[in-house]
Amino acid sequence: MNIFHKKTISLNLLLKITYIISIKRCLCIHYIVLPKCRVTAEVKHNPTNAVVCRVQGEWNGVLEFSYTSGETRVVDVTKLPVTKKCVRPIEKQGPTESRRLWQHVTESLREKDIEKATEHKRLLEERQRTEERHRAETETAWRTRYFDREGEGWVYHKPLWKNSAFKS
């Protein structure tokens, strides 16, 4: 799957996120999360930039999908089944995997020790800054594990459409 993710947060708590998620590189999803969980979104066909669907509602409530065909679908996400995450144990995760990196921050927050969580976060971020400075000094490019840069976005090494189990 080809994913490009960019997000910005402004002072008025407006969260604007642009995803280019393409199955065979054809869809672009642009959405804005407004205060109080409100969402507006457009799904576009990448080659033509034509809007194929508009979405509005609350990300934790009811979402209304309006298609250019005139069809409308309503989804109440509170009535959808919850799927439990399947995550490898931390000891089996790589050194740069998110849960491993942030485990001490998470643990401190669960213990309601904000000062300890803040210190763990500061140490983690300082280590990342040091690593970035080292890469800049040695002119070493950041090496990704699962994605390659392609134009403005990123392409996953093993997209689903190349997997024989998902081919039609």
**Average of per-residue pLDDT across 124-132:** 94
CA distance 3 to 144: 14
Query: What's the CA gap between 36 and 34, in Å, rounded?
Result: 6
pLDDT per position as a tens digit, 130-149: 999 999 999 998 888 777 77
pLDDT over 50 (residue 5): no
Q: Which residues pair with 32 in a beta bridge?
A: 16, 40
- Assessment of whether the complete model's pTM goes beyond 0.75: no
| H-helix or E-strand spanning residue 91 | none
Determine the pLDDT at residue 66.
93
Measured CA to CA, the distance from residue 99 to residue 124 in angstroms comes to: 12
Residue 59: pLDDT band with limits 50, 70, 90: confident
